[in-house]
């Protein structure tokens, strides 16, 4: 194989391919900004498909909140540094609208952002607050709130998803919920995997076989819940066909990550963003980022050789420890690409509370980089590292996306804001 140097130029380079990075590319597309995006897309597969804005006011209150918009107001009092407090709510709303409508145009319809959170099901049969859900999961939420008769179905050989578990944990709140186990068509023995099931349901013959099984399992119920397996590329279509074949209302519950709803998003982004003009370099890590006169130069390499990207601006959306945007060592937390200062607890002794599931969360989870009001990362003197550099997503300090149930909210809202600032810079 011949190695060749490849050079790209862009107006914006997005580093990171999690929700924040993809949201940034989508918002840049909307604004006709020529964008290159680089990063390992693995982390998106770990999302459940639920897009949370703000589900909890941890550490102040243990329980989940109904109205995330009101929640942001409360957050402004208690955590003014929280990234969600630094963006107008109307912009956050627009960001969610633009993001979800883009997903819909690409074949994965989402419910639009509303005034309040909805309660959605988890694979353990617990409930969580979220803002937007894939339309394949919507019915579960309404069926729960109406307490309608419903059968949760699981499959022999599919581990980690037990309909008996879902029902056991919900039966007090949802008396007409019951469980059934069935065999997936042509997968009667051994272990079976959600991804394989989802792909096989893209085939009409498999759908017909499964429909017969589901009708029998539903008995008198008109609504059934399945683990998320309704197709990989056309989930809305697969669900619609299954509903026609069965005459039932069908919804999905995400399985344990990496689950089908996350893989759907990843594959859709990887496929459609290049078609829409984004230079997407997935599965690669930026080795070097230097800022030069009026822009930046990114260096990386893949199996075909080195790649250089010249870009007028950069959005750093590299995530936290899981995605490599932050690194933890025995001595402290650092940001590996630019060695940006990381706001963090004074000592490792203070990283974690005694109890893991303490609803107040752990202080290391709020570590991250600082940005100015334009979301430009700050250097050790408290000055913007470069006028061409912006940051988005959970790499930002002063938020605990896990306890706050605000991962997608921070990602989408800050990506929107960062792209807006990029546009200002470019014009």
Binding site for another protein (CB under 8 A): 46, 48, 56, 58, 62-64, 122-124, 126-128, 157, 159-162, 164-165, 168-169, 171-172, 189-191, 254, 256-257, 320-322, 324, 327-330, 347-349, 351-352, 354-359, 361-362, 365, 401-403, 405, 407
Q: What is the DSSP code string of 156-192?
A: TT-TT--HHHHHHHHTTT-TTEEEEEEPPTT--SS--
Per the structure block, which two tokens stand in for 398? Answer: 């002063």
- CB of 167: closest distance to another protein in angstroms? 9
End-to-end CA distance of the chain: 41
Q: Is 339 left (phi over 0), alpha (psi -120 to 50) or beta?
A: left
Q: What minimum distance in Å lies between the beta carbon of 82 and another protein?
A: 16
| Helix (H) / strand (E) containing 227 | strand 223-227
Name which of 292 and 322 has its Cβ closer to another protein.
322
Task: For another protein, give the closer residue by CB, 101 or 334.
Answer: 334
CA angle 109, 111, 116 (to 5 degrees): 165
Residue 359 CB, nearest approach to another protein (Å): 5
Q: Minimum distance from CB of 362 to another protein (Å)?
A: 8
User: Which residue, 167 or 278, has its beta carbon nearer to another protein?
Assistant: 167
Cα 5 from Cα 307, distance rounded (Å): 6
CA 408/CA 397 separation, integer angstroms: 15
| Rounded Cα–Cα distance for residues 286 and 298 (Å) | 7
Question: Smallest distance, Å, CB 332 to another protein?
Answer: 9
Strand partners, 252: 226
**Residues 384-416 as b or e (16 or more Cβ within 10 Å = b):** bbbebbbbbbbbbbbbbbebbbbbbbbbbbbbb
CB of 168 to another protein, least distance (A): 5
In the bound complex, what is the minimum distance in angstroms from residue 64's beta carbon to another protein?
A: 7
Q: Show the beta-strand stretches assigned E in 16-83.
A: 35-39
DSSP string of 356-391, one letter each residue: TT-TT--GGGG-EE-B-TT-PBB-TTSSBS-TTEEE
Least Å distance, CB 19 to another protein, is: 12
Does residue 59 have a cis peptide bond before it, meaning omega lies within 30 degrees of 0?
A: yes
Q: Is the Cβ of residue 33 or residue 394 nearer to another protein in the bound state?
A: 394
Closest approach, Cβ 380 to another protein, in A, equals 22
Cβ distance to another protein smaller for residue 34 or 128? 128
Minimum distance, C-beta of residue 169 to another protein, in the bound complex (Å): 5
The distance of closest approach from Cβ of residue 197 to another protein in the complex, given in angstroms and rounded to an integer, is: 15
Distances (CA, A) of 238 to 39, 49, 187, 283: 30, 17, 19, 29
169: burial class by Cβ within 10 Å (0-12, 13-18, 19+)?
middle
Burial of 3 (0-12, 13-18, 19+ CB in 10 A): exposed
What is the rounded CA–CA span in Å between residue 181 and residue 167?
Answer: 12
Cβ atoms of 260 and 195 closer than 8 Å: yes
Q: Report the alpha-carbon distance of residue 291 to residue 384 in Å, rounded.
A: 12
Is the CB of 207 or the CB of 405 nearer to another protein?
A: 405
The secondary element (H helix, E strand) that includes residue 72 is helix 68-78
């Amino acid at each position: 194989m011949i190695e060749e140097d490849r050079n790209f130029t862009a107006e914006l380079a997005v580093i990171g391919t999690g929700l924040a990075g993809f949201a940034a590319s989508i918002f840049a597309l909307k604004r006709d900004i020529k964008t290159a995006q680089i990063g390992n897309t693995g982390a998106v597969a770990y999302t459940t498909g639920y897009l949370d804005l703000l589900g909890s006011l941890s550490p102040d209150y243990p329980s989940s909140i109904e109205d995330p918009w009101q929640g942001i107001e409360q957050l402004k009092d208690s955590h003014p540094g929280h990234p969600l407090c630094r963006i107008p709510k109307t912009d956050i709303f627009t960001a969610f609208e633009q993001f979800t409508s883009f997903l819909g145009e690409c074949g994965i319809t989402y419910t639009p952002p509303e005034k309040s959170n909805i309660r959605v099901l988890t694979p353990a049969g617990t409930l969580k607050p979220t803002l937007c859900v894939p339309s394949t999961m919507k019915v579960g939420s309404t069926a729960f709130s109406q307490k309608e008769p419903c059968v949760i179905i699981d499959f022999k050989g599919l581990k980690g998803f037990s309909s008996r578990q879902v029902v056991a944990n919900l039966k007090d709140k949802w008396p007409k919920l019951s469980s059934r186990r069935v065999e997936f068509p042509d997968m009667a023995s051994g272990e079976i995997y959600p991804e394989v099931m989802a792909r096989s349901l893209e085939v009409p013959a498999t759908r017909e076989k499964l429909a017969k099984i589901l009708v029998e399992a539903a008995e008198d119920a008109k609504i059934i819940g399945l683990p998320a397996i309704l197709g990989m590329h056309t989930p809305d279509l697969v669900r619609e066909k299954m509903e026609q074949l069965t005459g039932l209302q069908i919804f999905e519950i995400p399985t344990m990550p990496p689950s089908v709803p996350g893989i759907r998003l990843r594959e859709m982004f990887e496929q459609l963003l290049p078609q829409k003009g984004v230079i997407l370099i997935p599965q690669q890590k930026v080795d070097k980022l230097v800022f030069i006169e009026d822009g930046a130069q990114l260096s990386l390499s893949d199996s075909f050789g080195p790649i250089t990207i010249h870009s007028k601006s950069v959005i750093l959306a590299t995530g936290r420890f899981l995605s490599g945007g932050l690194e933890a060592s025995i001595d402290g937390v650092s940001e590996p690409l630019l060695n940006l200062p990381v706001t963090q607890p004074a000592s490792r002794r203070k990283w974690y509370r005694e109890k893991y599931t303490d609803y107040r969360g752990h202080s290391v989870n709020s570590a991250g980089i600082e940005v100015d009001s334009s979301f430009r990362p700050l250097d050790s003197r408290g000055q913007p590292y470069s006028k061409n550099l912006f940051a988005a997503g959970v790499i930002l300090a002063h938020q605990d996306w896990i306890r706050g149930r605000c991962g997608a909210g921070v990602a989408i809202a800050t990506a929107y804001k960062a792209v807006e600032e990029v546009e200002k810079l470019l014009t």
